[in-house]
Structure 1
Amino acid sequence: MSIYRNSVWFIKGLNEYCRSGYESASKRFVPGDLEVDVTGRSFMVTGANSGIGKATAKEIAKRGGIIHLVCRNKDRGEEAKKEITTETGNQKVFVHILDMSDPKGIWKFGEQFKNEHRLNVLINNAGCMVNKRELTENGLEKNFATNTLGPYILTTVLLPLLEKEDDPRVITVSSGGMLVQKLNVSDLQTENTTFDGTMVYAQNKRQQVVMTEQWAKAHPSIHFSSMHPGWANTPAVQSSMPDFYEKMKNKLRTEAQGADTVVWLAVSSAARKQASGLFFQDREPVATHLPLAWTKSSPGDDEKLMQVLEELSQQFKPQ
């Protein structure tokens, strides 16, 4: 079945995820959707110093938003801020230093942020693909800590802040790679199966889609969405998937094309009219499972994921 899933997915990717797929899809975009002024609205973007995160922050800054760049590296974060402010003229760009694989740090950051700022839109973009099993200093598998538990904690701690605002939104940058994975709630940190970084990443991205669906049910006042940026030419792809990059580099989307749907979900009124909890690609909700791939999890497993994440997150919450 995995061979079937991977084959169907790759063919789908060649047709839809490359630059040509974006160019084809963009013919039906409504230009006015992004002709908006979001002055006064506050946006947080994690993993914002490069790639899709920086491209997203820049586009929102052009439209007047207050931008909170959440970055792991201070120097790179400040460089991104300088680039964004210079290109957009928007001076309301702020840098926050945070490692999204550190659950204790995320709790601390979130609680402090709640006391000092407003927030209308949270964009969970930061991610990693570590190709060998590696544990953080907290004993967590690094991909899981960064891609799943980190966004879970950050979103959880900021929910009360978002609920105070008009038209609050949470957008999670997932991946079409999740289509080859069925949620495996019994081995979230890949302790009992052979470690394959690409498949672990895809499993994390499946977890993100399920989290988004569950959040939407639990918090109806907030609009939740997840999305696939397509195959974009980003530093993360170049470093984590060098073979894929070499084969596909002439077909990859630009960072701005990869960020387009994130920006659309963050600022447009058209996106807000869509149901909460959906998975988007090129400004449209799309299926979360391939046909005949047997990747659908049970409602019980979906709820179990949230239960495990809640229990795990509480272990790192400051007393």
Structure 2
Amino acid sequence: MSLYRNIVWFVKGMREYTSRSGFENASKGFVEKDLDVSMVGRSFMITGANSGIGKATAMAIAKKGGTVHIVCRNKERAEKAREEIISTSGNTEVYVHVLDLSEARKVWEFAEVFKKEHSSLNVLINNAGCMVSQREMNSDGLEKNFATNTLGVYILTKCLIPLLEKSRDPRVITVSSGGMLVQKLNADDLQTERAQFDATMVYAQNKRQQVVMTEVWAKANPKINFSVMHPGWADTPAVATAMPQFHQMMRDRLRSAEQGADTVIWLAVSRATTAFPSGLFFQDRQSVSAHLPLAWTHSSRLEVKVFMGRLETLAMAVKSSE
């Protein structure tokens, strides 16, 4: 079944995830006025916004007048991105926050401080992610890919939900990956302690976990619109670093960062998205299935409950150790 998933996914990817056959064909159906909106008076938090899809998203929102909080690991790169966004957009309401999402304790601390310092947040965009090639532990004793892609996203979102609920038209968008289509949720080995470590499959599993979290959050928090999306195969520094062979092989077919960011921006600002129920998976401004046909990747209610319970236990354990 794994071989079947991989083959079907790659064929699908070549047809839909690339720039020419994917984005350019899909964009023929886009409604231009969907993005013709002012974001003045609305605030956005974007993680991993110093490059790639995150930076392209921050730039687009700043051009529309939104207040942008960019959350990045590296202060120097973040400040450079901020200067470029301000210079290009003419919007000075761009703020830098330094945070490594792999450090769960620091995510708690950051979110609590942000809530005290800001009266509202309209949109949270969980964009930051990583694909560490070897099994590596962080300072909390957690596997780094899981800590960044899953637990960090879980803690940041959970902690900011009360602030989002106070705001007008609150939204949470998580940048996932079509790679999750080859993975079924595995709640029994969250940190790859038993299975052989394969960075690509660990990343795909983390991205499946993001889809499941989004579906659960949407049911539990009806005041907020949650969505998760696949940006396609985009030419970003993260892809070039984490997947050099794939990047080399596909670079003439990859989407630009701006094309990869298009659906993120659409989900964050467009009024058209209110026509969709909360909790869906999107690709090129359309809701799409989060499962390949006949791939057996659906999870039972019990599996989802166990997964969310284990996330909560890990999150609270880190918080109590502060």
Q: TM-score range by the shorter chain?
A: over 0.9
* Separation (CA, whole Å) in 2 of partners of 1:53 and 1:215: 22
Distance apart, 1:225 and its partner CA: 0.2
Contact 1:178 1:202 in 2 (8 A): yes
Q: Which residue of 2 aligns with 1:262?
A: 264
1:220-268 deviation per Cα after TM superposition (whole angstroms, max 9, x unaligned) = 0000000000000000000000000010000000000000000000000
Answer yes or no: is 1:183 the counterpart of 2:185. yes
Q: Which residue of 2 aligns with 1:38?
A: 39
* Separation (CA, whole Å) in 1 of partners of 2:297 and 2:251: 29
* Separation (CA, whole Å) in 1 of partners of 2:307 and 2:279: 16
Could you say what secondary structure the match of 1:295 adopts?
coil
Distance apart, 1:134 and its partner CA: 0.5
Could you say what secondary structure the match of 1:95 adopts?
strand
Give the aligned residue type for 2:61: I
Give the aligned residue type for 1:213: E
Answer yes or no: is 1:273 the counterpart of 2:275. yes
Give the aligned residue type for 1:141: E
Distance apart, 1:272 and its partner CA: 2.1
Q: Which residue of 1 aligns with 2:71?
A: 70
* Separation (CA, whole Å) in 2 of partners of 1:60 and 1:91: 12
* Separation (CA, whole Å) in 1 of partners of 2:152 and 2:88: 30
1:145-195 deviation per Cα after TM superposition (whole angstroms, max 9, x unaligned) = 000000000001101000001100000000000000000000011001010
Answer yes or no: is 1:317 the counterpart of 2:319. yes
Q: Which residue of 2 aligns with 1:86?
A: 87
Contact 1:22 1:282 in 2 (8 A): yes
Contact 1:214 1:303 in 2 (8 A): no
Distance apart, 1:273 and its partner CA: 1.9
1:112-261 matched pairs, under 5 angstroms? 112-117=113-118, 118-261=120-263
Distance apart, 1:299 and its partner CA: 1.3
Give the aligned residue type for 2:104: P
* Separation (CA, whole Å) in 2 of partners of 1:196 and 1:111: 34
Q: Which residue of 2 aligns with 1:17?
A: 17
Give the aligned residue type for 1:91: T
Q: Which residue of 2 aligns with 1:298?
A: 300
* Separation (CA, whole Å) in 2 of partners of 1:299 and 1:212: 14
Kindly report the root-mean-square deviation, in angstroms, between the aligned alpha carbons of the 2 structures: 0.7
Q: Which residue of 2 aligns with 1:54?
A: 55
* Identity fraction in percent: 65
Distance apart, 1:300 and its partner CA: 1.1
1:94-132 deviation per Cα after TM superposition (whole angstroms, max 9, x unaligned) = 000000001110111001000111210000000000111
Give the aligned residue type for 1:130: V
* Separation (CA, whole Å) in 2 of partners of 1:278 and 1:304: 21
